[in-house]
Structure 1
Amino acid sequence: MQIMSCISYILLLCLISSTNAQHPTREALELTIGIGNGSKVSKSSKACNLPLKLNCQLPGTHLANQVLKFADQRLALIYPVIQKFKSLITSDPLGITQTWVGSDICSYKGFYCDNPPDNKSAIAVASIDFNGFQLSAPSLDGFLDQLPDIALFHANSNNFSGSLSPNIAKLRYLYELDISNNRFSGPFPDAVLNMPGLTFLDIRFNFFTGSVPSQIFTQNLDALFLNNNDLMIRLPENIGYTHIFYLTLANNKFNGPLPRTIFRAFSSLAEVLLLNDQLTGCIPYEIGLLKEAVVFDAGNNQLTGHLPLSIACMENLEQLNFAGNLLYGAVPEVVCELGKLVNLSLSDNYFIHVGPLCRILMERGALDVRNNCIPDLPFQRSVEDCANFFAYPRFCPRMWSYNYIPCPHFPYASLIPQVAPSP
């Protein structure tokens, strides 16, 4: 009974001492509990011999250790946003989030600070680079859209999922958005149409579905990467009015014919990737206007007709792929004479003839015409397969254009009938 009385007294003393504490950083009061002849209990008391020490934590001590001082109020505002997002991360194999501790947000791995445009003396998180971090989270909602000063957001090669919040349209400084190679789904993020400052959009290698608004091709973008999703659109004529320097549409469900204006859009591109879509119709002669193209890949579509002779004007072309289409006729000799061409893939079509220049490419392994209808070559389609294809006549509009070569200095131009193209 005396022991319990002593302990009760000490606990009361702790409470009184804590209540009267004036300095939150003051050390906790350590009391030695003892049993004696009714002597008072104090810090130095040895009246009780029970070997038990009680640490009384003074108020404010724990809180003081948790008070964070931020270099700028803008950082203080996004601290809880980051910590909430951190709590949602389900996998962090590289231990990235272990650095997301304390008030020095600018030292967190993947976070970069700078002066925001509206206040050059302020400090804010201006850039995030999570590329290759392998983080997993069910969504970016409540995180990306709550970073008001963000200008660049790169999150390539993670396992983020969900859809993009329409609230990202409120990010007034964001001009680069890369969420490629993740597990995002849902419709095309229309919010980007309301972001006039956006110049770089990369959503490739995700699971976005549905139609793509044609307005995206007239946005003020320098780069647009849409490939490897499940998106669809009939390529619009207004695609020719874009100034995009890097554009990839491959491995989707883009359909319809190649608009004549598409080659105005691609005129400055080094790589044009249209493979594994659902493109139909004939190839317009305007393909020859792609003077800068090094790679042109439209393999595995449903394009038909002849190869235009205008391809001979693509002087920088190194790789040309039309394999897996419905092309027929003769492989143009002028195309096989392109000086930089190292790979011409025309397999799985219905070509019926290759001339001597093209056969030289075949001997060098640069031309692949397997599985066509060329009578004297091995590895061709069966006679029955070829007969069934040609049993149905196929016509292309503007047939004259297949012989038109839009480069005036082409050495064989005078030998080919040329008709001025229609406007």
Structure 2
Amino acid sequence: MEAFGYSLLFLFLFLLLCFSSLSPVSSAFSNAEAASIAHRQLQALSDKGDRPDDFEIDVAIANPRLRRAYIALRAWKKAMYSDPHNFTDNWIGPDVCDYHGVFCTTAPDDPSINVVAGVDLNGADIAGYLPAELGHLTDAALLHINSNRFCGIIPQNIHRLKLLHEFDASNNRFVGLFPDIVLRLPSLKYLDLRFNNFEGALPPALFDKELDAIFLNDNHFSSELPDNLGNSKASVIVVANNKIRGCIPNSVGKMAATLNELVLMNNVLSGCLPPEIGLLGNATVVDLSWNSFAGVLSKSLEGLTEVEQLDVSHNMLTGVVPGTLCRLPNLVNFHFSYNFFKSEAEECVPMSTKSTAVVEDKSNCLAERPAQKSAKMCAPVVSRPVDCGRSKCGSSSPVKPVPKPSPKPSTPPRPPPSPKHASPVLSPPPPQHSESPVKRMRSPPPPVYSPPPPVHPPQPPSVHSPPPPVHSLPPPVYSPPSPSIRSPPRPIHSPPPPGHHHSLPPLPSHSEALPPVGGLSYASPPPPFYPGYN
């Protein structure tokens, strides 16, 4: 009970800070009002937040599952204390299927009734918290609340959402340890917790769960990567911009058949790069930049035959950059600047005619190359090379490439459903008929708030990582490089549609990552095929 009391006190203080710092666009709260809001959430949590299915309501709804959804959405509406775009203005009355951001379809187990199949509030800039009554949305296949100002913690009752396939809580102000409750969601495939204030350890169980995408970047996680990292079947793992320390586990090679993108940039990882990284023959993006890796580049990295973006810049690597890496068949960008390499193959010299990839080699220890470190800076590192065979990170055992599995035929995407509601923030929900599955709303990429890094000392930018496609669609790739030699590490960005000129919008610059003010409109891809909704 004492520990529970401390947890409540911590939550109370954080909510006080959270609500007292709301944007001027939203209704301003005094400290007393913020304290009252926090106290009300604590009261809801103190009785574990559960509500019986026969909870008294003031409207008649014959469908018991829509009745439970009404209870959940009404409680959520009351837990919202700022809605500057009036996104939930029509959350009134019993017809929950007409609520903005709420969409219904026929129940997977009973085609004679409609159920709430998903809620999408992306980019609405709503301030509030998640009430425990969300556990009544038991038919929801997706819950998207990207780019709002929801505070506090993820309620335990969401474990009742047995059909939840996608949970996107990114770009909010959630706090506390990793929300283990998401690991109890049996149908979850897509998890996005980036741009929040979660901290502490990454649970090993996360990498044993059958997830297709894991986005944890821009939080305050500070543990080592669990040894069972390689058990993950995810196609994309992004843990950038945290405080993850220690080694990359040798188990990383076990993800050879499934992993498309691995982004570990801007942590405090160290030791040698395990040669098992070379087993990731299906990976198109491997970004290990802005860490403290040492030693040499393993010959096994030649196994990255599908890699398009390879970034090991801003580390303590030394030795030779081999030409075999710069001749990888699909390589587009290879950045190994800001290390201590003392030699590079001719193919790895920027603008070399022997390689089609864009290469960056500045600030190394390369003779006859411009913009390199001084001999005084290079000597202490180059003269004392790290023996990776004896390092606690890395492995001296030979690494055998894993044969690639035969590609599975992919199901062509369905065309987008017809609009039902016009919304100032989001794409409209699908119509209510049996042929429309739950519509997946692509979460907008959180904005990059860090300014370009200065030359001395360099500072890493935030990761600009959009959600990957699910269900065997092509993974996102990095944006095309800039010709400037002083460009920062490349953000991840989905490619433009064929025939469309690719350009990124200007990015704001702030001292810290805060949820944005005001929502933006993003196009939604065709809906995936959710199990049960067909």
Q: Residue in 1 aligned with 2:306?
A: 316
User: Is 2:370 aligned against 1:348?
Assistant: no
User: Is 2:363 aligned against 1:371?
Assistant: yes
Is this contact kept in 1: 2:76–2:134, CA < 8 A? no
**Residue identity matched to 1:177:** F
Q: How big is the shift at 1:121?
A: 3.0
**Residue identity matched to 2:131:** D
Which moved further from structure 2: 143-152 or 391-400?
391-400
Which moved further from structure 2: 71-80 or 242-251?
71-80
The equivalent position to 2:224 in structure 1, one of 201, 212, 234, is: 234
Q: How big is the shift at 1:124?
A: 2.4
Q: How big is the shift at 1:208?
A: 0.5
Residue 152 and residue 408 in structure 1: after superposition, are their counterparts in 2 closer, same or farther (change >3 A)? Answer: closer
Which moved further from structure 2: 162-171 or 324-333?
162-171
Q: Residue in 1 aligned with 2:173?
A: 183
5 Å-filtered alignment, 1:20-419, equals 68-70=59-61, 72-137=63-128, 139-359=129-349, 361=351, 366-397=358-389, 406=400
Which whole-Å deviations, capped at 9, do the CAs of 1:141-194 have from their partners, x for residues lacking one?
234234233232111121111111122223223232111111111111011232
More helix by share: 1
Q: How big is the shift at 1:101?
A: 1.9
Which moved further from structure 2: 184-193 or 260-269?
260-269
Is this contact kept in 1: 2:225–2:248, CA < 8 A? yes
Is this contact kept in 1: 2:283–2:306, CA < 8 A? yes
C-alpha distance in 2, partners of 1:179/1:73?
Answer: 28
RMSD: 2.7
**Residue identity matched to 1:395:** D
SS across alignment from 1:123? strand
Residue 396 and residue 163 in structure 1: after superposition, are their counterparts in 2 closer, same or farther (change >3 A)? Answer: same
**Residue identity matched to 1:307:** L
**Residue identity matched to 1:110:** G
Give ranges in structure 1 of 5+ residues lacking alignment.
Answer: 1-65, 410-423
C-alpha distance in 2, partners of 1:287/1:398?
Answer: 18
Residue 67 and residue 407 in structure 1: after superposition, are their counterparts in 2 closer, same or farther (change >3 A)? Answer: closer
C-alpha distance in 2, partners of 1:143/1:170?
Answer: 10
C-alpha distance in 1, partners of 2:222/2:379?
Answer: 33
Q: How big is the shift at 1:401?
A: 7.5
C-alpha distance in 2, partners of 1:302/1:92?
Answer: 43
Q: Which has the higher contact order (CA 8 A, sep 6+)?
A: 2
Is this contact kept in 2: 1:208–1:229, CA < 8 A? yes
Q: How big is the shift at 1:360?
A: 5.5
C-alpha distance in 1, partners of 2:70/2:63?
Answer: 11
**Residue identity matched to 1:150:** A
Is this contact kept in 1: 2:223–2:243, CA < 8 A? yes
Residue 261 and residue 206 in structure 1: after superposition, are their counterparts in 2 closer, same or farther (change >3 A)? Answer: same
Which whole-Å deviations, capped at 9, do the CAs of 1:196-217 have from their partners, x for residues lacking one?
3322221111111111111110
Residue 288 and residue 106 in structure 1: after superposition, are their counterparts in 2 closer, same or farther (change >3 A)? Answer: same
Is this contact kept in 2: 1:308–1:403, CA < 8 A? no
C-alpha distance in 2, partners of 1:365/1:174?
Answer: 41
Q: How big is the shift at 1:105?
A: 0.8
SS across alignment from 1:269? coil
| Percent of paired sites with the same residue | 38
Q: How big is the shift at 1:398?
A: 6.7
Q: How big is the shift at 1:128?
A: 0.8
Residue 243 and residue 80 in structure 1: after superposition, are their counterparts in 2 closer, same or farther (change >3 A)? Answer: closer
C-alpha distance in 2, partners of 1:241/1:404?
Answer: 21
SS across alignment from 1:201? strand
Q: How big is the shift at 1:94?
A: 2.4
Q: How big is the shift at 1:354?
A: 1.4
C-alpha distance in 1, partners of 2:112/2:170?
Answer: 33
Is this contact kept in 2: 1:331–1:354, CA < 8 A? yes
- TM-score with structure 2 setting the length: 0.60
C-alpha distance in 2, partners of 1:224/1:67?
Answer: 41
**Residue identity matched to 2:377:** D
Give ranges in structure 2 of 5+ residues lacking alignment.
Answer: 1-56, 404-534
Aligned length: 343
**Residue identity matched to 1:225:** F
SS across alignment from 1:233? coil
